[in-house]
Amino acid sequence: MKTYPLDKVYRLIEPGPVLLVTTADAKGAANVMTASWVVMMDFTPPLIGLSLGPWNHSYAVLRSTKECVIAIPGVDLISRVVAIGNCSGADADKFAKFKLTALPAGKVHAPLVAECLHNLECRVVDARMVGKYNLWVLEAVAAWENPERKERRIFHAHGNGIFHVQGRTHDLQKEMTRWQEFVD
């Protein structure tokens, strides 16, 4: 795993991929869930909005530990990611069940997912929107890239079991007058 620059975290979240979110409880038991209601909220420090509600087994652990890892899977993991999204950590050790490798993170207790392209270590910085909207404001405090994964394409959820894979790249850098941000 290589470190990934925090000021480029927005480039991983802004495309809107399906994500994994890991947590670890006070005894060190890890869980992993699937998420795709996620949004960038600021560049630096990188703030990320994550929708995660009481119906999720990870909710109580996130609320008590205030830590999680957001991991970005390539499309080679799509079947496992969907299956992870269809069972509960209340019933199964999902790292074992889905043959994912939990690696220790640097700054949080939640584990990294070795098989993912990128991992973002996150701390909850604002939980005031959780009661009404189940929206957690996270700060990414460390980020990692796995350069050894051959399948680099991410994938997107359309609901109802339909997904699409990252297709052809359009490089419009020359058409951008500002380097990273849309204006209006």
User: Site residues for a second copy, window 131-150 (CB under 8 A)?
Assistant: 132-135, 137
Q: Tell me which residues in 22-61 interact with a second copy (CB under 8 A).
A: 31-42, 47, 49, 51, 55-58
Using CB under 8 A, which of 5, 14, 101, 107 touches a second copy?
A: 14
**Chosen residue from 4, 95, 144, 155 binding a second copy by CB under 8 A:** 155
Q: C-alpha 83: how far from its chain's center?
A: 16
What letter would DSSP give residue 77? G
Q: How far is the CB of 159 from a second copy (least distance, A)?
A: 4
Nearest CA-CA partner of 117 in 143, 92, 86, 97: 143
* Nearer to a second copy among residue 52 and residue 106 (C-beta): 52
CB of 121 to a second copy, least distance (A): 19
Retrieve residue 176's tokens.
Answer: 């951008």
DSSP state letter for 129:
T
- In angstroms, the CA 21 to CA 56 distance is 11
Length of the chain: 184
Question: Does position 169 bind a second copy by CB under 8 A?
Answer: yes
Contacting a second copy (CB under 8 A), which of 44, 60, 127, 153? 153
Positions in 70-129 near a second copy (CB under 8 A): 75, 78-79, 82-89, 94, 126, 129
Give the helix ranges, DSSP H, for 85-152: 94-97, 130-133
